[in-house]
Amino acid sequence: AADFEHLNSTAMHLPLHHSRGPCSPVSVPSDLPFSAVLTHDDARIASLAARLAKAPSSSSARPAVTVASLYRANDDVDGVAASLASVPLTPGTSYGVGNYVTRMGLGTPAKPYVMVVDTGSSLTWLQCSPCRVSCHRQSGPVFDPKTSSSYAAVSCSTPQCNDLSTATLNPAACSSSDVCIYQASYGDSSFSVGYLSKDTVSFGSNSVPNFYYGCGQDNEGLFGRSAGLMGLARNKLSLLYQLAPTLGYSFSYCLPSSSSSGYLSIGSYNPGQYSYTPMVSSTLDDSLYFIKLSGMTVAGKPLAISSSEYSSLPTIIDSGTVITRLPTTVYDALSKAVAGAMKGTKRADAYSILDTCFVGQASSLRVPAVSMAFSGGAALKLSAQNLLVDVDSSTTCLAFAPARSAAIIGNTQQQTFSVVYDVKSNRIGFAAGGCR
C-alpha cells in the first residue's frame, strides 16, 4: 500500500519515476552513454513516422516472426495449445532508457509489477510465466497466471481479440484451443508476443475486474528491467479506456527529472490549475494525441519565422520521446536564437543528432527564457533543464532536433510540468511545478 497514493475515490494517484532516477525501481547501467538514449529515441521517431505514413519503417523492420516456432512445448497454459499461426509483424514504437515507470497490481491476490508508461501505445502487456520462449530480466518476479484466481485467457471470437489489429498494428493470431494471441512490435526490433488475457487490475486498494491485457510469452528487446508496458493511447484496449467507466476519460502526470519524483493520476483532476490547448483530430493515427504548436519565443522575442511554419507538420505530444522534434524551419530559427542569446558560452561539437551544444552543464549555464505556445493559450515556459540536456560530464546540448514527418513534443520539455489529457473534453492542459 505504501507504493500508492490516492487523491480521492474518483482518481488513482501513482508514483512515477524516471528510469534513470535515483528512486527508480528498475536499474539502468550507470555507464550507458547518452548516445544510446538518442539512438533508441531516433528509432521511436522513425516508427512513429511509419505509423503516420501507414507504412513499415525500413530502419526497424524485422523478419516475420513465425509464431508457431515460439511455442513448441506440448504443455498448455490454462488450456492454451502450443500450435499457433505465422503472421508478419510491423514496427511500432521504441522503448529504450528514456522512459518513465510506475507500479501496477495484477491478479487475485494482487501483486505489483513495474511498468513503462506510454501515451503512444494502446495495449498493456507484461511478462508471464512460464515464458515459453524468452523473458528479459525484470525487477521482481514474473507474473504467473496460475497464481491468480481471477485470470482467464481470451478466446479468438471476442471483440477484444478483433480490436488487437488497431491496438498493436499487427493482426491477431489464434491457437488451436481458440485462444487469442497478440503481437506487439516496436521500432528498435523489441517485441512481445503472447496470449490476450483478462484479470483484475489494481492500484493500491482500488481494483477493476475483467481488465484485458497481453500475457507475454516471448518478450525481447530494450524494456530495461520493467515487467512490461502500460498503454495510455486513445484506443478501446488502452488502460485509460478500460478504466474510464469507473474513473472517467482523463489522466494526468508529472514526468520527473532524474532528481525529482513525479506521479501518474487516472481519473478526476483539478481543472482550475491548468491552461489548455485543444486536442486536434487527425486521420493519420486516431490513437495518438495531436495538438497545435502556435509559436515560440527566446528571451521574450518571437522566432524570426512566419507563424504558419509552426503548423507545417502535424504535432504529437508523447511521453516516450526524449528529444522534441520541430519543423526544420522552426528548429533552425530556435537553434540560431538560443546560440545568439548564449554567445558568451563556449560552443561544443555536435553530439549525435544534437547539433547545438555548449561546454558545461545545463544547471550551471545562463540560458535565455524560452517559451512554447499552443493554440488556445496554453504554454510551456522552459527551465534550463527543459531546454538543454547534459550528454556527458562536460557537454550540454539543445534538447530539440529537426522533425521528419511530424513534430513531437517530447518528455524533456514536459519534465516537472503537470500535464492533463482530458479526452472527454478533448483538451490537454499544462501547469508548472507539478513534481516534488
Active site residues: 118, 318
Cell readout for 70 is: 515460439
The CA distance from 138 to 240, in Å, is: 24
Give the alpha-carbon dihedral of 123, 124, 130, 131, to 10 degrees: 60
Contact 296, 373 (CB under 8 A): yes
Question: How many angstroms separate the Cα of 403 from the Cα of each of 123, 317, 329?
Answer: 26, 13, 10
Contact present, 416 and 257 (Cβ < 8 Å): yes
Q: What is the DSSP string of 305-368?
A: S-GGGGGSS-EEE-SS-SSEEE-HHHHHHHHHHHHHHTTTSPEE--BTTB--EEES-GGGS---
The answer to whether 342 touches 299, Cβ cutoff 8 Å, is no
How many CB atoms are located within 10 Å of the residue 257 CB?
17
Q: Strand runs (DSSP E) across 19-124, as ranges?
A: 100-106, 111-118
Is 196:172 a contact under the CB 8 Å cutoff?
yes
Q: Could you tell me if 418 and 254 are in contact, meaning their C-beta atoms sit under 8 angstroms apart? A: yes
The rounded distance, in Å, linking the Cα atoms of 89 and 174 is 15
Q: For residues 312 and 326, what is the distance between their CA atoms, to the nearest angstrom?
A: 10
What DSSP designation does 142 have? P
Answer yes or no: are the C-beta atoms of 105 and 111 closer than 8 Å.
Answer: yes
Query: Which of 127, 106, 116, 122 is closest to 203 using CA atoms?
Result: 106
> What are the distances in angstroms from CA 224 to CA 24, 117, 208?
11, 13, 27
Report the C-alpha dihedral over residues 318, 320, 325, 327, rounded to 10 degrees: -30
Rounded CA-CA distance 422/275 in Å is: 12
Kind and range of the H or E run holding 216: strand 206-220
